[in-house]
Chains A and B, each alone.
Chain A
Amino acid sequence: MDFNDTPEEAAYRVAARDWLRQHAPAHELQPGTRLSDSEEVQRGRAWQKQLADGGYAGILLPQSLGGNGGTIAQATVFGEEETRFRVPKGAYVGIGLGMALPVIGKHGTPAQIARFAAPTLRGEMTWCQLFSEPGAGSDLAAVRTRAVRDGTDWVVNGQKVWSSWAHLADWGILIVRTDSSLPKHKGLSFFVVDMKSPGIDVRPIRQISGASDFNETFFTDVRIPDSDRIGAVGDGWTCAMTVLMGERLNQGGHGNDGSITDLIQYAADTPRDGGTALDSSAVRLNLASAYAEEQAERHFQARLRTMVSRGENPGASASIIKLAYTSRYQKLAGMALELRELAGIAHAPDDIATARIMRDYIWSTALRVAGGADEVLRNQISERVLGMPSELRADKNVPFNQL
């Protein structure tokens, strides 16, 4: 066991740090400034282009996709160094790199790879994920949006939801039903779709945070050429799994112990009854427990990375991070508001720190649902890690159109 860098990792870190010092400051977002969504995406694209120019855009992606074919250790080292800067990193870039490219790389044709890989890596092409529907969230295979073959095209009708950044994305990855006479997992196919196609209507959803970066996306007779199908007809579920496994491995680990360190300092600076909030043993226990858990998540993730670097598949163990992280995030934000006592109800306009914690507390509710709800993850962990029985599936082996 060795938590230190190897000499190669240390050299890689030095080079990454030098490069970041030179290039990152010009791209940093100033704290407290509010950018519009489209400004933020523009800034994100520019940083991604910079990364591509520097050879850091796709550290883990294979060279066949224009990546570096690097190691998970290199990606981790670079990520650790990059988080020292407030550079714009959002789902608008992450979906393309973490979801679209892996699925195109694994199931796409050479022509599709040639067409999509380079522009995505350079931030010139951004992506959204068109998976969930009003009636298909955790039960993704229940999607009803359908595609019907028409000559060399497919004609798509239906509705997708929770498509983050769809209003600003260039392309989408899309799962649809192409044969409803088959059981639900079998009749699905996977496409990439140009978001400027006629018949696509993206409507922002007003979220409880006040933001509207999630969308409903309506498809009305949208024509997608068959050349934009990824994988074989009927292989949609396999493709979707490729995306979701990648999603799980990339979750969590935005480990930011700074936030708890800051909270401890904040507690020490908060006058309370003649002393400070940190005099309360309940406060100390809560903060220490949150810190311990956050560190444990980081170390657990490191164990998973070690497995991956040996070619082992951590499988459902990757769900552990997401399950632990999101609940801890919510608990910590709630606790932070209590630390602030009455400021947790209403804060001064210039109190940016409290405003941020309030946003975190709201956002944590989305995190516990998005990308694998707590309950789904617990099923996965109990079934695949502990070997407990699967849930009863009433719709198993029943043709979708008879459900």
Chain B
Amino acid sequence: MNFDLSDEQKMLAEQMRGLLGKRATPQRLRSLIDAGQEWDEPLWRELGELGFLGAAVPDVYGGLGLSELDLGVISEELGRVNAAVPFFSSVVLAADAIGLAGTQAQKARYLPGIASGETVATFAYAEGSAGWSDPAVHAVLEDGRLTGTKSPVADAGVAGLAVVLAKAGGRLALAVVELEQPGVLRTKLESFDQLRAHYSLRFENAAATPLEGAAAARVMPMLMDRAAVQAAFEGVGGAEACLHMARDYAAGRKIFGRSLDSYQAIKHKLADILVGVELARSSAYYAGWAAVTGAEDLPTSASAARLMAIDAFERAARENIQVHGGIGYTFDANCHFYYRRERTLALSLGGRERWADRLIAHMPGRQGQGNARGREAA
């Protein structure tokens, strides 16, 4: 038993924290929003040059070949600063989808570009609802041509590629689609998160390359579990940032003749947030380990990590603004970045209800049983 990150993983976290502390500052985030930028392109390039974007891509495909836990460390640090980069779309979802569902030749074709950051990819599974099982998917893939609408799709404005979930011959299928082609219409949506743009993608007979290494129906649950683990790490990073921000603000604020952080109303609120963060972190560690080892309980542990992270980040993001008081409602304070990101993260793979269903359906002794939703979630 050893329930801690390795020294190398701790160093990786330090390295990320050092870099992001300099580059992804709140001032930088504000200037991106003011300039109407959808991403922090220089930061993305730098992450690519340092190898972080290929952390979990096998070295034969141009990555570092590190584990899902290493990737988790990176996700957590990106979450901590609310970085405006399409890491979750490109690295966590699209690259993993290609890694799980692609043939060797397809991996060799797409992964090196994603690993270096040269190519930005995104993952288009949703069609309005967050469902990713059979009845929720209507886009049709036929003879290398894709028709249908996927929405919302994160980072589709800056992505060159999308991995798209569709149906081929009535079965789930995954295909890679170049977004720069006549059959693709991108419509920008009004995103709640000002630092993560979302699009509606309309495909009309667009050229698409089906991923043929493994069946999409088998890949999708695994892909979503593994992404849920990374989202949990990202949420833990964001939640902890909110906790520290609230603590530091309260320490410097005087009210009724004493510092705000000397009040139990504040101390207890922050203690509860800390409990949530530490429990969520523990769940993320375990689920990350389950992803690394391909443990049987990945579906339950990933679902659990997701539920814990949503709870922790939700509370931390809300109470951070509350502790800040009026200043927390201003654009110049930094709370709002997290308040918006939290909702995006909580909903982007489907919210609590879906993951609760998935957890229940995969509880020991219940495999294959459960309610209608549970079966769908399986």
Given contacts A2-B2, A73-B1, A383-B267, contact A317 B278 (CB under 8 A): yes
Docked Cα-Cα span, A284 to B369, in Å, equals 14
Known: A291-B363, A378-B267. A284 touches B371 (CB 8 A): yes
Residue on A nearest B305 in the bound complex, by CB: A292
* B367 within 8 A of partner (CB): no
Chain A 241-253: CB-based contact to B (< 8 A → 1; otherwise 0): 0000000000000
State in angstroms the CA–CA spacing of A287 and B9 once bound together: 33
Contact flags (1/0) for A217-255 with B, using CB distance below 8 Å? 000000000000000000000000000000000000000
Specify which chain B residues have a CB less than 8 angstroms from the CB of A68 in the assembled complex.
Answer: none
Residue from B4, B5, B311, B371 whose CB has the most chain A CB atoms within 10 Å:
B371
List the A residue with the shortest CB-CB distance to B372: A279
Give B294 Cβ to nearest chain A Cβ, in Å: 13
Contact partner, B4, options A275, A285, A303, Cβ 8 Å: A303
A385 is an interface residue with CB less than 8 A from chain B:
yes
Chain A nearest CB from B13 CB (Å) reads 13
Does A288 reach chain B (CB closer than 8 Å)?
Answer: yes
> Smallest CB–CB gap between B281 and chain A, Å?
8
Residue from A261, A264, A387 whose CB has the most chain B CB atoms within 10 Å: A264
Q: Which residues of B contact A (CB under 8 A)?
A: 1-6, 9, 69, 243, 247, 250-251, 259, 261-262, 264, 266-268, 270-272, 274-275, 278-280, 282-283, 285-286, 288-289, 292, 300-301, 303-305, 307-308, 311, 352-353, 355-357, 359-360, 363-366, 369-374
Chain B positions within 8 Å of A303 at CB level: 3-4, 282, 285
A369 contacts chain B at the CB level, 8 A cutoff: no
What residue in chain A is nearest B355 (Cβ atoms)? A288
Q: With A317-B278, A388-B262 as known contacts, state yes or no: A3 contacts B3, CB within 8 Å.
A: yes
For B372, what are the chain A residues with a Cβ–Cβ distance below 8 Å?
279
Residues on A with C-beta less than 8 A from B272 are 378
Bound complex: CA A324 to CA B308 (Å)? 13
Binding site of A, secondary structure by majority: helix, strand, loop or mixed?
Answer: helix
Interface-lining segment among A204-212, A294-302, A339-347: A294-302
Among B69, B271, B285, B359, which residue has its beta carbon within 8 angstroms of that of A386?
A: B271
Q: Give the CA-CA distance A300 to B364 in the complex, in Å.
A: 21
Q: A293 to B357, alpha carbons, bound, how many Å? A: 16
Q: Contact between A296 and B3 (Cβ–Cβ < 8 Å)?
A: no
Q: Check B268–A375 contact: CB distance below 8 A.
A: yes
Q: In the bound complex, do residue A261 and residue B363 qualify as a contact, i.e. CB atoms below 8 Å apart?
A: yes
- Contact: B359 with A378, CB < 8 Å? no
Report the separation of the CA atoms of residues A268 and B370 in the bound assembly, to the nearest whole angstrom. Answer: 8
Which residue of chain A has its CB nearest to the CB of B4? Answer: A306
Q: Which residues of A contact B363 (CB under 8 A)?
A: 261, 264, 291
For the complex, is A5 an interface residue (Cβ under 8 Å from B)? yes
With A264-B366, A391-B264 known as contacts, the answer to whether A2 contacts B282 (CB < 8 A) is no
A299:B307 contact, CB within 8 angstroms: no
Name the one of A76, A284, A317, A389 contacting B360, with C-beta atoms under 8 angstroms: A284
A297, B6: Cβ atoms under 8 Å? Answer: no
A-B contact pairs, 29 of them (CB 8 A): A1-B6, A1-B9, A2-B2, A3-B286, A4-B1, A5-B1, A9-B1, A264-B363, A264-B366, A268-B366, A276-B371, A281-B357, A284-B373, A285-B356, A289-B352, A291-B304, A291-B363, A292-B305, A293-B308, A303-B285, A306-B4, A320-B279, A378-B271, A382-B271, A385-B271, A386-B271, A387-B247, A388-B251, A388-B262
- A3–B373 alpha-carbon span in the complex (Å): 31
Please tell me if A169 contacts chain B, counting CB pairs below 8 Å: no
Would you call A365 an interface residue if the criterion is a C-beta within 8 Å of the partner chain's C-beta atoms? no
Confirm or deny: A109 has a beta carbon within 8 angstroms of a beta carbon on chain B. Answer: no
**Minimum CB–CB distance for B275 against chain A, Å:** 5
A63 in the interface, Cβ–Cβ < 8 Å? no
Query: Does B267 lie within 8 Å of A306, measured CB to CB?
Result: no
User: Is A93 an interface residue, CB under 8 A from the partner?
Assistant: no
The residues of B that contact A385 with a CB separation of less than 8 Å are: 271, 274
Whether A320 and B274, one on each chain, are in contact in the complex, defined by CB atoms closer than 8 angstroms, is yes
Chain A residues 327 to 357 lying within 8 A of chain B, measured CB to CB, are none
Q: 8 smallest A-B Cβ distances: which pairs?
A: A288-B356, A292-B304, A382-B267, A299-B282, A296-B279, A300-B282, A378-B271, A302-B3
Q: How many residues on the A side are at the interface (Cβ–Cβ under 8 A)? A: 54
Given contacts A1-B4, A317-B278, contact A296 B268 (CB under 8 A): no
The CB with the most chain A CB atoms within 10 A, among B267, B280, B289, is that of B267
Q: List B contacts of A368 (CB < 8 A).
A: none
Q: Would A306 and B3 count as touching, CB distance under 8 A?
A: yes
Q: Are B289 and A2 in contact (CB under 8 A)?
A: yes
Cβ contacts under 8 Å, B1 to chain A: 2-6, 9, 73, 76, 302, 305-306
CB proximity of B110 to chain A, nearest CB, Å: 30
A291: B residues at CB distance < 8 A: 300, 304, 359, 363
From A374, which residue of chain B is reached at the shortest CB distance? B268
Asked whether any CB of chain B lies closer than 8 Å to the CB of A180, the reply is: no
Q: Does A323 contact B (CB under 8 A)?
A: yes
Residue of B nearest to A292 (CB): B304
Minimal Cβ-Cβ distance residue in A for B273: A386
* Residues in A104-122 with C-beta less than 8 Å from chain B: none
Q: Are A278 and B270 in contact (CB under 8 A)?
A: no
Given A289-B311, A296-B304, 5 more pairs with CB closer than 8 A: A261-B364, A284-B371, A293-B279, A303-B3, A324-B279
- A170 CA to B304 CA, complexed, in Å: 45
Return chain B residues, CB-CB under 8 Å to A5. Answer: 1
Expressed in whole angstroms, the Cα–Cα distance for A303 and B283 within the complex equals 11
Q: Quick check: A1 and B285 within 8 Å, CB to CB?
A: yes
**Nearest chain B CB to A138 CB, angstrom units:** 13
Which residue on chain B has the smallest CB distance to residue A281?
B353
Encode contact with B along A365-403: 1 for CB under 8 Å, 0 otherwise.
000000000010111011101111101100000000000
Q: How far is the CA of A279 from the CA of B308 in the complex (A)?
A: 22
Question: Is there contact, CB below 8 Å, between A295 and B304?
Answer: yes
User: Does A265 count as interface, using CB distance less than 8 angstroms?
Assistant: yes
User: Is the pair B307, A300 in contact by a Cβ cutoff of 8 Å?
Assistant: no
Measured CA separation A299–B266 after assembly (Å)? 27
Give min CB distance, B120 to chain A, whole Å: 30
Task: Select B270's contact among A261, A293, A386, beta carbons within 8 Å.
Answer: A386
Knowing A1-B289, A292-B308, A296-B282 are in contact, say whether A261-B365 is a contact too (CB < 8 A): yes
Give Cα A377–Cα B247 distance, bound, in whole angstroms.
17
Chain B residue numbers with a CB within 8 Å of A320 are: 274-275, 278-279
A275 to chain B, nearest CB (A): 8
Measured in the bound complex, the distance between the Cα atoms of B288 and A305 in whole Å is 19
Q: Which of chain A's residues have a CB closer than 8 A to the CB of B303? A: 288, 292
User: Which residues on A sit within 8 Å (CB–CB) of B356?
Assistant: 281, 284-285, 287-289
**CB-based contact B279/A297 at 8 Å:** yes
B2 touching A389 by the CB < 8 A rule?
no
Smallest Cβ-Cβ distance to B356: which chain A residue: A288
Q: Give the complex CA separation of A297 and B1 in angstroms.
A: 16
- The residue on B at minimum CB distance from A279 is B371
